[in-house]
Structure 1
Amino acid sequence: MARTRAGLRRTAAAIAMGVAVLTMGVPTIAAADKEAPAPPGPIGDPTGNGAWPAIAESRADAPGYTIYRPADMPAEPLPLVLWGNGGCRDAGLTASHFLREIASHGYVIVANGAPRGERPVKTGIPGEDAVGAPAPTLPLTPPRREPDETSTDQLLAAIDWAAEANGRTGDDLEGHVDTTRIAVMGHSCGGLQALQAGADPRVDTVVAFASGVYVRRGSGLSGVDITKADLVRLHTPVAYVLGGPTDIAYANGMDDFDRIGHVPVMAASIPVGHDGTLSYAAGGDWALVGTAWLDWQLKQDEAARHWFVGPDCRLCVSPEWTIQRKNFPETP
């Protein structure tokens, strides 16, 4: 992955600090997340900067999921990516702009949650409305907790669903899904689902966006049953992509990084707040980094490797990003 975007050339001062999207521990829920699921079929026009512009899709045989894939599937089987939504919501279009972008680079993505309403593309600079905002005080004690709308078991069940679709004669996905190359990713509560799912032996890498196991058990809204002790069950390279000190998950994610010592682990942070760039055009900087990580881990792409490896890695020399690594290769 060799391309750049103006976002990676902005200065940290220009992008400013973002506020977390949790106020008093309660996540912001868009009205679109409560809409009725879309009928079976494509959702939105093909889009994305990769070689295969991608669509979101509702499928009758996958009522609890939203599928993202190239509109015109390439001949070779594509790696499988599982996605957990922020708030563990049953709303598979919450990160649609980000996930279409990732899929356009040659991935089949199954997102937890039915395809409800789609959020509009955000404009401007992430976090620009929060200049000088203080970092959140952790741990927060939420005033109430609602049951999670999706689960880690549901996330992992998508592997079996994808394998069945891959082997079904006449299915659009027939022969196009490689279930020997699997990533689990998620945002916030969905990141906890990804970290928990990362213990599954079928998983090849984990990416947690604005997420981390609570420093104090029970101090957040999520019902995902994972503790710091469970981090030893991770068996693959792990990436934490955080939104800077105003990201309400920043302390949790960095604490996870400090505790993990048995597998390759990276903590990369850019000061854009808890919601990051998921809702921006093409998923913004988080999509750039997420795609590069997947390309490196699942496709062994050497150009993508240079985003993360070596003293002069692309994130290492970027003025916006801070990066820490452990158990990484020492040379590009």
Structure 2
Amino acid sequence: MKTTLLRFGLLGLSVPLAGCAPVGEAAMPADQAAARMASDAIPDTPGSGPYPASRDVRPGLPDHIVYRPRNLDALAGRPLGVVLWGNGGCSADAASARFHLLEIASYGYVVIAPGKAYSGPDALPAPPRETHSDGTFPPVQTLPADLLSGLDWILAENERAGSPFYGRIDPKMVAVAGHSCGGLQAISVAADPRVATVIVHNSGVLDPDAFNPITGFSVAKDALNRIHTPILYILGGESDIAYPNGMDDFRRIDQVPVAVASVDVGHSATFREPNGGKVTPVAVEWLEWQLRGDEAASRWFVGEDCRLCRDPEWTYDAKGL
């Protein structure tokens, strides 16, 4: 039973989890389908950061959604960081974590997620995903290469005269992040030398002896050895079905600074809550520290009296910070 839970947890497809692509509305229990419909009806929010955010599809990158500050001039020369996001379930729903991503963008980041808006207001009809009788899932809808194509695009826009992003991006401020199967995508591309930090939500690499139901994409434990930047795991407590895998990754990583913060919210995390809920400030502060060198943000993670160390809702551990 444990192996079954772990295998389903990394795809986020056995049950309709926030940030994950469900197998279809018909497969959802009625209360969960109603909750999803209620969440989808909520308009986009601008985030609580200093730069109200929005999302759109940009020319030249039609198969991604770009989350960004609405008024780029309001940054007044402050460089934009970049966050590449892996969707839960490795799905093509680039709006599945929209409140979380808008919140990050409101702090001065361009966040790029592969796919279309298959949830939220005016969502497109989602492509069907049905389970197979052998326990495997149909091929993933996005791949790690899709995260890197978003990076290629934004760095080219940074160099293109006439682009709204021209000269606004700091190419040294690049993070990869993702939820569940999307977290595995983040781990998969973390070796790219352009990446400066990694955030993994509710995920961890499967044990090599465990059954892997993912079709079309895999990542092995040795990918952890190729991580060259600080990395943060944000887990959902012991009820998070990816918790054992994430904690195992934390124990294995020793070549770079690594931290793990866990709060008892389960595998779904809090992405559908206002501004992404309680997990999002942790991600924002990590980005502010790792990409901008913000000393106040660092105090969330380092020091005997660090913010996460003394918050009774969270359990926290770190190595090498």
**What residue number does 1:260 align with?**
253
When residues 286 and 24 of structure 1 are mapped into structure 2, their CA distance, relative to the original with a 3 A threshold, is closer
When residues 170 and 253 of structure 1 are mapped into structure 2, their CA distance, relative to the original with a 3 A threshold, is same
Q: Which structure has the highest helix share of the two?
A: 2
Asked whether the equivalents of residues 26 and 221 of structure 1 are also in contact (C-alpha less than 8 Å), the reply is no
- Write out aligned runs for 1:134-213 (5 A): 143-213=135-205
SS at match of 1:179: strand
Asked whether the equivalents of residues 186 and 194 of structure 1 are also in contact (C-alpha less than 8 Å), the reply is yes
- CA deviations 1:274-326 (Å, max 9, x no partner) are 01111100011111100000000000000100000011100000000001111
Alpha-carbon offset, residue 46 of structure 1? 5.8
Q: Paired residues, what number?
A: 279
When residues 279 and 142 of structure 1 are mapped into structure 2, their CA distance, relative to the original with a 3 A threshold, is farther
Gaps of 5+ in 2: 1-7, 26-42, 123-132
- Does residue 47 of structure 1 match 2:81? no
**What residue number does 1:80 align with?**
82
SS at match of 1:178: strand
**What residue number does 2:221 align with?**
228
**What residue number does 1:69 align with?**
68
- CA deviations 1:244-272 (Å, max 9, x no partner) are 01111000000000111111001110000
- CA deviations 1:139-170 (Å, max 9, x no partner) are xx972221110011111121110012222222
Q: Distance in 2 between matches of 1:22 and 1:199?
A: 21
Q: Equivalent pairs: percent with the same residue?
A: 44
When residues 219 and 24 of structure 1 are mapped into structure 2, their CA distance, relative to the original with a 3 A threshold, is farther
**What residue number does 1:125 align with?**
none
User: Which range is displaced more, 143-152 or 252-261?
Assistant: 143-152
**What residue number does 1:127 align with?**
none
Q: CA RMSD in A?
A: 2.4
SS at match of 1:230: helix
When residues 22 and 294 of structure 1 are mapped into structure 2, their CA distance, relative to the original with a 3 A threshold, is closer
**What residue number does 1:8 align with?**
none
Ranked by relative contact order (alpha carbons within 8 Å, sequence separation 6 or more), the top structure is 1
SS at match of 1:184: strand
Query: Normalized against structure 2, the TM-score is what?
Result: 0.81
Q: Distance in 1 between matches of 2:189 and 2:11?
A: 28
SS at match of 1:64: strand
**What residue number does 1:26 align with?**
14
SS at match of 1:55: strand
Gaps of 5+ in 1: 1-19, 33-43, 121-140
**What residue number does 2:59 align with?**
60
